[in-house]
Structure 1
């Protein structure tokens, strides 16, 4: 089979490991969305590892020609827009953080009444976007100059342990780790391994539910424990890095071959 990678970074650890496992019996081809056009003869399946506008356009063109793309361009684009993400999640009954949208940080700041801490994020999920906790006027003032015109979403800060539960799913298989929140003053630091069996009851099922609602095969779900194992989803990512997770490359290979053969994603 021919497997295509839509990414400017085919050497990413997850993709490189999966490609190495596939290379013995299959052909793996990288399509850099910055420079590549739609091939005359599409591959059996494509892995969409980036959500840039050019990558999404390339994926859509491939889908229009009948190619299978994991995740689809539509599902990936949905996860790039935190407003649409929150609306779908909450409408579907997922425990997603309440989210308000503003045309710009300046528009929100002009009328903000900070009676409690909030988390401010870029509306559009991308590398280097804005994610910051704001506790009062001083923090808000520091954001206004560099981010004044940035479209943003605002979520109430949910008290928690300071650790994010990073959950990933690849074709139905769940992986997990603990990571210091990016809102922590000390920075993120390394992940702490976490076996799926160590998750609070129902969390793995919640991850599967996210995949069903968002039509995703490879995705990440960021959850904070707001007390007693009560989950609050704060972000959903299409095809994240999933670095350092034993078994993730093998799960990706199995998913890729299933989708290439025309079978549905999750096992």
Structure 2
């Protein structure tokens, strides 16, 4: 079989390890740089893994899909997870426990008529590397932030009191992996990713439900435990890193081959 990797980071540990397993099993693995003008040249591969969220990466994935090739994750599902407004709207329609999210235009537009009385989380509407994700506690802090990001389209979420740790749940098909990482909102910074000895009851099923709702095959779900211990989803990511998770490369290689055999399966 021929397998294509759409990525601008071919050395990524998960991709590299999965590619090694596929090559060892006798399959051809090809790297596609989404920035290359001839990335889609030649006959399509049997399946593609989309580990690029750039406009060119999505454009390449859409072209390959039009040619009939299965892409994991699809371009549409990947693009949806980059728009936090659409992500939240779909979660509400599906009944997922997702952080209440409101779209407010640019940061400067929202700040002009806002007097904060309780903490909020301000995020770039369009998810990308080095985007804006910050807790804002008062109007003075909001003013400072606006000076740096005045024209940034943002969404706003009420801050939900929690332990300060994100539960990172990742799925590859039906396999769920988990870890703990200090929230990026924490003043101490994120720090290392720590093992999560036990996934809270029901959270693995909730993660799989997210995959169904967003039509994702490989994805991450960031969950915080609220004051009563119930899960609150704060973000969904298409094809995250899933680093240092035993069994993840094997799960990805297996999923890739299953998608060739039956494009509708996970």
TM-score normalized by the length of structure 1: 0.97
CA–CA separation in structure 2 for the residues paired with 1:14 and 1:241? 7
Please list, as runs of the form range in 1=range in 2, the aligned pairs for 1:195-210 lying within 5 A after superposition: 195=197, 198-210=198-210
Report the more deviating stretch, 244-253 or 257-266: 257-266
* C-alpha distance after superposition, 1:174-193 (max 9, x if no partner): 00000000000000000111
Which of the numbers 70, 73, 78 marks the counterpart of 2:72? Answer: 70
* C-alpha distance after superposition, 1:13-54 (max 9, x if no partner): 100010111112111101110114312200000000111111
What corresponds to 2:30 in structure 1? 29
Which of the numbers 144, 147, 150 marks the counterpart of 1:145? Answer: 147
What corresponds to 2:42 in structure 1? 40
What corresponds to 1:92 in structure 2? 94
CA–CA separation in structure 2 for the residues paired with 1:245 and 1:160? 25
Which of the numbers 56, 59, 62 marks the counterpart of 1:60? Answer: 62
CA–CA separation in structure 2 for the residues paired with 1:172 and 1:29? 25
CA–CA separation in structure 2 for the residues paired with 1:178 and 1:171? 21
What corresponds to 1:258 in structure 2? 258
Contact 1:170 1:219 in 2 (8 A): yes
CA–CA separation in structure 2 for the residues paired with 1:265 and 1:193? 29
CA–CA separation in structure 1 for the residues paired with 2:191 and 2:96? 29
Q: Output the aligned Cα RMSD.
A: 1.0
What corresponds to 2:171 in structure 1? 169
Contact 1:167 1:220 in 2 (8 A): yes
What corresponds to 1:109 in structure 2? 111
Using the TM superposition, give the Cα deviation of residue 263 of structure 1 relative to its aligned residue in structure 2, in angstroms. Answer: 4.6
Contact 2:70 2:263 in 1 (8 A): no
Q: Structure 2: where are the runs of 5+ without partners?
A: none
* C-alpha distance after superposition, 1:30-87 (max 9, x if no partner): 1110114312200000000111111001000000000000000000000000000000
CA–CA separation in structure 2 for the residues paired with 1:165 and 1:113? 31
Q: Structure 1: where are the runs of 5+ without partners?
A: none
- Size of the aligned set, in residue pairs, is 264
What corresponds to 2:83 in structure 1? 81
Query: What SS does the aligned partner of 2:108 have?
Result: helix
What corresponds to 1:124 in structure 2? 126
What corresponds to 1:7 in structure 2? 7
Contact 1:258 1:264 in 2 (8 A): no
Structure 1 runs of 4+ off > 3 angstroms?
Answer: none
Query: What SS does the aligned partner of 2:81 have?
Result: helix
Report the more deviating stretch, 38-47 or 64-73: 38-47
Query: What SS does the aligned partner of 1:103 have?
Result: strand
